[in-house]
Structure 1
Amino acid sequence: MSSRPSPLPNRVTPFGEIVAAAAQGGWLGNRGGRIHRDWRIVRRQASPRWIICRLEFKGRRRTVMGDGYTELFFLDEATALAAGHRPCYECRRDAAKAFAAAWAAGRGGARVTADEMDAVLKMERRAQGPTVAHADLAPGAMVAAGGDAFLFDGSGFHRWSFTGYAPAAPKAPLTLLTPASTLAALRAGYRAEMRV
């Protein structure tokens, strides 16, 4: 096994990229299992089940990038949603239920399972996001402009970084980063945690 690098390559950008960054994340997640070997990310996912978890749950302790699934870290929930993840049904049951209800409302009202959401998110992660207007967005949605990611908080935009956000006005065209179905859930009332 190679020596452990510092920082580890386990921070996720709103673009869905997994990189090494020293700043701490506010949320934990995974991509359905183990995607690392010898301190390196060796594949994009283990399954379509990309989830957002709490940093702490029932006192569990894990060795980061040890056995089992690969722990990934996000600045906030809005970042994780933009990258194509959804709330976990184990450690964030209330949020997962609220997200599923908003997802259903945003897509016409039919109840959905985690597997159904995961299948849609998998397809949407593969697709290039459409160009969007400011009026198309909801609080917690993220867009790309000029190579940077921007969070819309309901009143304005903030440029994303691993350490936080800074108020900024992105120049058009704006490309949607948040998957379309997640944006529909945000429009239908799901409230993403944002560190602004």
Structure 2
Amino acid sequence: MPRQNRVMPTGEILRHPTRGTFMGNRGILHDREAHDHGALTHRRWRHKAWVCCLLTFKNRRRRLMAPNRYTELFFYDEAVALAAGHRPCAECRRADHAAFLAAAEHIGSTPDFDARLHAARAIPRKYHLRQSLQEVDDLPDGTFLMTASGPHLLLGDMALPFSPTGYAPPQKRPTGPHPVLTPKPTQIALRNGYHPKLHLPFAL
């Protein structure tokens, strides 16, 4: 059975066999026996520095859900990671990290940005993520929103339905107000030209 480590754009963490293209970290979310049973505790974060990492870096190898080590989370692609509240890692993705913070118009330390992003994404003491109601016409490409049928990624005049297996063929971009998953500080980065790395199973 797959481990509970696949993150959806909503922030929900599922058991699912489809492999991700990025890894993430929110701290230790599993117990000491999790490597065997593969499930998480009730916690969904332990610190504010939620990062999105490369799958391979400097030949490092990890034992998934090892005791007293951070929980390895996985994302279908970077747009999903951004919607779930993560930002590029400063170690394994240094150039992307610098480009992201610059596009987000952040002046100051990375911990300062993490605190700002956490305030925008997290509902205190609930372990749930915010969904702000916004006009679709005002949203940049790379943003995830919710419709009655689930999460959709916005690209140009299209909206790509998303499920744990990936993207479905594009639909027409909706109009009007919708709940938005991608946090507002990340929307600023997208609006200013940060392009998340997408894993599209078809040509647009």
Give me the TM-score of the superposition, normalised by structure 1. Answer: 0.88
SS at match of 2:100: helix
Q: CA deviation at 1:12?
A: 0.3
Root mean square deviation of aligned Cα? 1.6
Amino acid at match of 1:176: V
Q: Deviations 1:77-111 (Å, cap 9, x if unpaired)?
A: 0000000000000000000000010011xxxxx51
- Contact 2:136 / 2:177 at 8 angstroms: preserved in 1? no
| Matching residue's letter, 2:153 | L
Q: CA deviation at 1:18?
A: 1.0
CA 1:186–1:133: 2 relative to 1, 3 Å: same
| Mapped pair 1:50 → 2:50 | yes
Other-structure match for 1:18: 13
CA contact (8 A) 2:131 2:179 kept: yes
Does structure 2 conserve the Cα–Cα contact (< 8 Å) formed by 1:150 and 1:170? no
Q: Which amino acid in 2 is paired with 1:168?
A: Q
Alignment-derived partner of residue 41 in structure 1:
40
**Number of corresponding residues:** 185
List per-residue Cα deviations over 1:26-81 (Å, max 9, x = no partner): 110110x2110122211111211110000000111111111411000000000000
Q: Secondary structure at the match of 1:181?
A: helix
- Structure 1's unaligned 5+ residue stretches are 1-5, 105-109
Q: Which moved more, 1:83-92 or 1:139-148?
A: 139-148
Report the AA paired with residue 113 of structure 1: S
SS in structure 2 at match of 1:11: strand
Of 70-79 and 139-148, the range deviating more from structure 2: 139-148
Query: Would the aligned equivalents of 1:142 and 1:152 in 2 still touch at CA under 8 Å?
Result: yes
Hey, what does 1:70 align to over in structure 2? 71
1:121 match: secondary structure: helix
Gaps of 5+ in 2: 124-129
Identity %: 41
For each residue in 1:116-154, what CA deviation from the matched residue of structure 2 results, as whole angstroms up to 9, or x when unmatched?
111111111125332222321112110011151000123
1:16 and 1:50 map into 2 onto residues whose CA distance is 12
* Aligned equivalent of 1:143: 145
Instruction: Extract structure 1 runs of 4+ deviating beyond 4 A.
Output: 169-173
Q: Calculate the TM-score normalised by the size of structure 2.
A: 0.85
